[in-house]
Structure 1
């Protein structure tokens, strides 16, 4: 019994895997696409009419590996099935890691008539596996150091070796300060020939990281104005990289660096992982400088690591903890091991983190920021949980990395209103504008000022004035989307940056804000109004120019009688 012809097409359309069928042409420009299914459209963002007649090159870009494409062509020329992985690109330019298999379809004579390809987006799956391996590697270093198995030079070497394991880098180096130079004390990967190499501190990006004691991310040294020695950077293959200062007890010993010969290779996740590894090395350097006794150095090394790293089993017991737990909770690490989390953290703190831990023990990677009510007091933390997944797919436990960011959050937050402060707003705004430029999106800025606020302060006092500002912050926040960024600009001024919002929509947003403020009285202060200036971002415009146009619009609103919105 033959199956109906339409059944095969229906099966292809309902497949969860993306499917592509091409003609057999392998010579340039390559095979033409004859069919794609709905799953392909969903995965790539391309409608089928956009790709029919085109070649699979439409999905390729900068991160697509030429070596993989060469293997693909070789297999197809031999009439063989090909399976591999490389990066492809969605229609909006977003890269994704694709696992695909290509099968030659042959007629009765053995001639290839078509190629059928199945495609899967494995980006998230590979990222979870990579993250788990990364945290395992960092945990392994901590255990080896804690057990006293590594001297200082071996710690250096272990750190650079692990850096290649936990990032995309193909070169890593430890640079330690000596006079006005940084000296390469340990190297790995393609940096192997640079051992004992010297860099002038005041002429290098590593030196800038050392001087500022800041983590620096270089996306492309060829266009980064901070890189002065551009020819030297390209000669050693430094196109993109991360520099992490080796800081302990307020002293900077040097810089831990990874790099790669391609641009845009690293991100925030790499910076955080390298900070963990650098903390081990900085502690080791501190110990070596402060003590001659090797045992004392190792003991202090364990105590000095300021980030909580642990392994939690499925019963929610600590199986491994680093020495930072002793400082945080006043309990020896030996006494913590084997205890349930709530026995160490307290019930209230445990209930706060429990949903995140549940997700990790269900096989999900988890990253979050939260204010945790520890018994010793509230602390704001950034936590990452990575599931430990066995080969059979079972989740055996989770790796946890927790860092105290209370001070950082205080530095980003306006103490009176709880909103972002101006410094944090400008940092966020730069990223929003960068994304808008890349994807050609609208962005609108709204600058607002409380009318006659000085008079209000004079009549009712500063305490009442502060209460009004706090209430305004709450009312304004209640009118915004999650994507909008609200901050206190200074004094009685506030600012909103609204992505994917044009000038007309920005005026509507500003009117909602104005109404939310002026429609209800503010206690003893009574009715309060605001004037608002609106400016839509223009392609190529920087943040300061955008702010200036919004400020001029705000001035016009004040000049026209206050309690109004003006677009500039």
Structure 2
């Protein structure tokens, strides 16, 4: 379709207000000019909704720029050429239902350009009726909202990240805001970075558990608390059985997945007051505050059984566990880590997949 030239029409202001001064041809040219220079793609189709229809009878210049089809390529085609794998079928069905009922339609879905690239769009479809109420065409107006969708996704990602900011960050931000309102924005960003560094320093990057440093610090804290309140404290030392051969056969990526799953099982079956850690490699540890040795054995056996019962995708995996306990009875002199490691060695040397 050739570009439409600007029109020279001699109509006074009163005529424009009433539209009585423009003949049918001039008004048609005005409307066509407006459509061709609209920013949003416009498609006019026939009214046959069943295949092979509807057929495109008109597209404006914005359509060709957005979708990549020339006017000649689009005319006679069905709008289904714009649909693809991610097109929302439910929206298409809803549109058909609304149009069959004589209602206008407004919706949102993903369409595809001629080169196959997808884009989010909002679109409306209205029937074009004559004075007698006979439907002749459907007029669809599209709007590319990919940029706003991408912005919404970024906002959602940022919201998820902010949800993980810990209580210390909130307190720090509050103190900074009260102490110096002028520097609140800059200090808030700095506090976020510092909190993230602290988290990285104390967290195992693979499993999200406490790392070796955090584990040692937490064990000292719990031992001090046990002495203060005269309550027992137990420790589980855990090792994944034959994990080296698992890595050798299935590869390190699969090994990492297995370690992550074991970490999830350990977290899911421990108390909120317990501390699950990964000191290193295939070794895990669980600190059990206010737990005597009998309770530690029961807890360890439950964890062992959970890992054994899990439906592992490659081959069964099991864990061996060693336990140790210190209490007022030994005046808190028991070397927890050493005794737990010795018990773990007994579990490994007597057949694995057991608790000692």
TM-score (norm 1): 0.31
Structure label with greater radius of gyration? 2
- Name whichever structure is richer in helix by fraction: 2
TM-score (norm 2): 0.48
Higher relative contact order (CA 8 A, sep 6+): 2
